[in-house]
C-alpha cells in the first residue's frame, strides 16, 4: 500500500498581493486541504475583529485551530495550507524558522511567492476595505508562528517515536 506524501504549502507575499484570494481559488476543496485561517475562525466565533489581541479570545481560537490542524493533517491526510505575510524583517526570520521546521519533517514543502504590481495592489486594497471579513495576514503572523512551531516540533517528535 502506497502512503500518501503529505504536503505543506506556504503561500507568502507582502500585504495586498492576493494570498488569501489565491488560497480560496486554489485550495478550496476541504476534503484535500486544511487552511489555517485565524481571521475567519475568529470572525465566525465572535462576529467581528474587535479585541482581536485580547488574550482569552486568542486562546480560544488557538485551542480551536490546534486540534483541527492535528486531525486534518495527521489523521485525514489533508495537505496543509499556510498563509504568511512576508517582506518585513521581524516576520521573515519567523517564516524562515517555520520553513526549516517544516522541511525537518517527512512532508514535502512547497513555497508560492505572491507578487502584484502597484496598480493591482491598489485594486486589492479597495476590495479589502469593502470586505468586513478582511483582516491583514500581517497581524496574524505571530499567532501562526507560535501555533506552527509547536505543531512542527510535535510532528518531528511523533515521526521520531514511530521510527523506534
Closest by CA to 58, choosing from 159, 152, 139, is 139
pLDDT tens sequence across 50-106: 777 788 888 888 888 999 998 888 788 899 999 999 989 989 999 999 999 999 988
Ordered structural domains, the chain, with CATH: 7-163 (3.40.50)
pLDDT class of 1 with cuts at 50, 70, 90 = very low
Q: Which of 19-23, 52-56, 123-127 has the highest mean pLDDT?
A: 19-23
Q: What angle do CA 82, 49, 71 make, to 5 degrees?
A: 35
- List the beta strands (DSSP E) in 5-120: 7-13, 33-35, 79-85, 108-113
Closest by CA to 147, choosing from 79, 97, 111, 89, is 97
pLDDT of residue 13: 94
Q: Which residue has the higher pLDDT, 27 or 161?
A: 27
pLDDT of residue 133: 73
What are residue 81's DSSP bridge partners? 9, 35
Amino acid at each position: 500500500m502506497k502512503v500518501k506524501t503529505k504536503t505543506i504549502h506556504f503561500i507568502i507575499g507582502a500585504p495586498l498581493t492576493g494570498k488569501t484570494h489565491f488560497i480560496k481559488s486554489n485550495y478550496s476543496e476541504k476534503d484535500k486541504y486544511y487552511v489555517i485561517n485565524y481571521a475567519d475562525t475568529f470572525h465566525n466565533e465572535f462576529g467581528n475583529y474587535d479585541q482581536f489581541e485580547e488574550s482569552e479570545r486568542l486562546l480560544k481560537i488557538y485551542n480551536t485551530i490546534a486540534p483541527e490542524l492535528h486531525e486534518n493533517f495527521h489523521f485525514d491526510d489533508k495537505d496543509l495550507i499556510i498563509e504568511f505575510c512576508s517582506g518585513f524583517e521581524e516576520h521573515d526570520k519567523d517564516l524562515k524558522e517555520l520553513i526549516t521546521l517544516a522541511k525537518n519533517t517527512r512532508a514535502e514543502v512547497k513555497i508560492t511567492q505572491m507578487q502584484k504590481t502597484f496598480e493591482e495592489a491598489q485594486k486589492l486594497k479597495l476590495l479589502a476595505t469593502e470586505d468586513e471579513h478582511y483582516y491583514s495576514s500581517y497581524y496574524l503572523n505571530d499567532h501562526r508562528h507560535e501555533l506552527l512551531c509547536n505543531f512542527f516540533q510535535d510532528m518531528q517528535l511523533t515521526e521520531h517515536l514511530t521510527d523506534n
